[in-house]
Amino acid sequence: MTARIYTIGILGGTGNLGNALAARWAKAGHRVILGSRDAAKARQRAEEMSTTLGTEIRFGSNQDTAEQAEIIVLAVPFANQTDAIEEVRPALAGKILLDTTVPLLPPKVMRVQMPAEGSAAQRAQLVAGENVRVVSAFHNVAAHKLASAHKLEGDVLVFGDDLEARKVVVELANATGLRGLHAGALANSVAAEALTSVLIFMNKHYAADGAGIRITGELDAGKLG
Amino acid sequence: MTARIYTIGILGGTGNLGNALAARWAKAGHRVILGSRDAAKARQRAEEMSTTLGTEIRFGSNQDTAEQAEIIVLAVPFANQTDAIEEVRPALAGKILLDTTVPLLPPKVMRVQMPAEGSAAQRAQLVAGENVRVVSAFHNVAAHKLASAHKLEGDVLVFGDDLEARKVVVELANATGLRGLHAGALANSVAAEALTSVLIFMNKHYAADGAGIRITGELDAGKLG
């Protein structure tokens, strides 16, 4: 089976997580567009990445990026989540919106504080509207580990009510070198989002560098993506 | 350092999780009391366990158990959590209440459904009162694995606002053969409670038997309990 190539637009594509995902997906052969509200920054980063990776990384405004992409990745800070979705909403209809935001509310980032909607993912669905295929993932991955050339360990829990959309994101998680796992309905996203505060706590308590999670137990290898 | 020996009373001590914890703690040298609303069942189980383990396992009503124990473990179904705490509340003052309940609401047990209080652990604190040292843990451990003689894999995330109480529970988690980890404030318990629904989903989706979690990253071994 040949893996499908997707056109992936990353809002917040010049941020740490967005940029690290962009590089890993580009290396895996996907077409990547870096979206940013700062056009000069997006251009500069895209040019640097194109040179380093030897493949063209495109860039654009958030709006252009969302229009041109099949899959739109939200990699902005939680505080900008709602604005970013609203800015591109007309371009999202029928597409996959991959939300990576985590409701960290400084200064208490080691304490779980979920939004009234239940989770960031559920809020994304409410703001985007019902015709958008919202999937959430990549909550528990340290951006600096994803950005490094090291072999990655850890699992990416993927949540979504649209099974086909979730499958695509499991594929994209696997394409980064991590292991993507189906983790159920979008309402379950609270598990991984809350875990981020726990991992930040553990990084401090155990002087760890980028704690993550791994699912144990004998998962049927034939069912893994 | 000699490990301290505790007197542990388990409400719901004849259930699958409570019973498995009792056996593992008794083997580790702790004094265990099985509490149950069904006196005959508690007696029978305690006698069986005493014979099998070669050490005395005591039993009693929930109330007697809570009065005699230093640490009270709540291993009842979520539906009985509030009643069980209320039944023994006078005996809890100043003690550690270890809540293991998970808000699974049949029939949708693969879907995260947190109570209005935020999590089962936060509800336990509200019902028990401020003078009870509530800690939560053992949300992500399959009872049948804990009950088996197999070597266990996986971590126990331990939540609580009282650091000394949390340390005791981390010790008790380590005493079962799993790895106990400090996971922050009681408010963080939602992460592990929500994860239980995710693991049930994965058991089904991946035909797994008792999926669990493991924290990855280089935790400082000197800081582990």
Smallest Cβ distance to B184: which of A181, A197, A219? A197
Tokens read off for B119: 């999590």
Smallest Cβ distance to A154: which of B212, B216, B219? B216
Q: Are B180 and B137 a contacting pair, CB within 8 Å?
A: yes
Spell B11-31 as b/e; 16+ CB within 10 A means b.
bbbbbebbbbbbbbbbebebb
Instruction: Report CB contact under 8 Å: A214, B216.
Output: yes
Which superfamily is assigned to A7-223 in CATH? NAD(P)-binding Rossmann-like Domain (3.40.50.720)
Minimal C-alpha gap between B205 and chain A (Å): 8
Instruction: Report CB contact under 8 Å: B182, A205.
Output: yes
Instruction: Report CB contact under 8 Å: A211, B217.
Output: yes
Return the pLDDT at B72. Answer: 98
Contacts of B219 in chain A (CB under 8 A): 202, 206-208, 211
Minimal C-alpha gap between A211 and chain B (Å): 4
Instruction: Report CB contact under 8 Å: B213, A218.
Output: no
Residues facing residue A210 across a β-bridge: none
Q: Are B158 and B183 a contacting pair, CB within 8 Å?
A: yes
**ipTM beyond cut 0.90:** yes
Minimal C-alpha gap between A197 and chain B (Å): 8
Q: What is the mean pLDDT of each run of 10 residues along chain A (225 residues)?
A: 86 95 96 94 95 95 97 97 98 98 96 96 98 98 88 92 98 96 98 98 93 90 75
**Does A164 lie at the interface with B, CB-CB under 8 angstroms?**
no
Q: Tens-of-pLDDT digits for all 225 residues of chain B?
A: 457 999 999 999 999 999 999 999 999 999 999 999 998 999 999 999 999 999 999 999 999 999 999 999 999 999 999 999 999 999 999 999 999 999 999 999 999 999 999 999 999 999 999 999 999 999 999 899 999 877 788 999 999 999 999 999 999 999 999 999 999 999 999 999 999 999 999 999 999 988 999 999 888 877 776
Return the pLDDT at A225. Answer: 66
Q: How far is CA B127 from CA B76, B82, B124, B187, in A?
A: 15, 7, 5, 15
Q: Report the residue of chain A nearest B114, measured CA to CA.
A: A118
Q: Report the residue of chain B nearest A213, measured CA to CA.
A: B215
The CA distance from B31 to B91, in Å, is 18
